Amino acid sequence: MALDIEEQYERIYRYCYFRLRDRHWAEDVTQETFLRWLSSDTYRDTGQTLQYLYTIARNLCIDEGRKPHSEPLPEDMPAEPDDPLLSLALRSELDGLPPEDRELVLLRVVNEVPVGVLCRLYGVSRFALYRRLRGILKRLRQRLEG
């Protein structure tokens, strides 16, 4: 199954936006990610594509974060929820999570990144990843249900 590249662009962008909190910056980094991927020899091997894309994006975001900027990167989740009631409890719980956990939720649940890719990205075992994810999701579900 060929990867839907346009969909992946949206997802990588969402990831970059999560980390950089600025839509233009996020899009620049997204495009840079894809450019690097397109010019590399490995772009045809769709088995490794996601791995490649997320690795590049993550490294670029880290590099960008290190650059001397005027504002520090924001820590909180963005405003503008669609359903205020739904998101309020969830948002406070998400805010309470360490950023790495928030990132994990974004990648696994929202971006639907396969577990294998995440394991390689973070350098953890499947077991560790599942356990951590389960814990986070359990807490989030509890807060959602009130």
Partner 1 sequence: MDKKLKTALNIAFAAPPPEGKAAFFRAHRRRELGPGELLLTQAGYVRWWTWAGSAVLFAVILVLAAGREPGAVWTASALTPLLALIAVAEWGRSRRYGMEELELSCRMPLRAALLARMAAVGLLHLLLLGLAAPVLALWGGGKMLQAGAYLLTPYLLTTAIGMEASRRVRGQEGLLACAAAAFLVCALGMCAWRTWPNLYRAEKVPFWWAALALTLAASAFEFVKTLKETEELRWN
Partner 2 sequence: MELTVRELSKHYKDKKAVDGVSLRLTEGINGLLGANGAGKTTLMRMLCGILKPTAGSVALDGVDVSNEDYRAVLGYLPQDFGYYPDFTGLDFLLYLAALKGLSRPHAKRKSAELLELVGLADVGKKKIRTYSGGMRQRLGIAQALLNDPRLLIVDEPTAGLDPKERVRFRNLLADLGHDSIVLLSTHIVSDVEHIADHMLMMSEGHIILDEPWDKSRTDLEQLYLEEFGGEGE
Contacts with partner 2, residue ranges (CB under 8 A):
2-7
CB of 4 to partner 2, least distance (A): 4
The sign of the torsion formed by the CA atoms of 99, 119, 7, 144 equals: negative
2-15 b/e (C-beta count within 10 Å ≥ 16 → b): eeeeeebbebbbbb
Q: Which of 56, 57, 60, 106 binds partner 1 (CB under 8 A)?
A: 106
Contact 137, 105 (CB under 8 A): yes
Q: CA nearest 57: which of 20, 21, 29?
A: 29
Q: Which of 44, 68, 75, 98 binds partner 1 (CB under 8 A)?
A: 44
The 8-class DSSP code of residue 77 comes to: P
Distance CA(123)–CA(29), nearest Å, equals 23
Q: What does 4 bind: partner 2, partner 1, none (CB cut-off 5 to 8 Å by kind)?
A: partner 2
* Choices 51-59, 60-68, 82-90, 124-132 (CB under 8 A): range interacting with partner 1: 82-90
Residues that bind partner 1 (CB under 8 A): 2, 5-6, 9-10, 13-14, 17-18, 23, 26-27, 30-31, 34-35, 38, 43-44, 77-78, 80-83, 86-87, 90-91, 94, 105-106, 109-110, 137, 140-141, 144
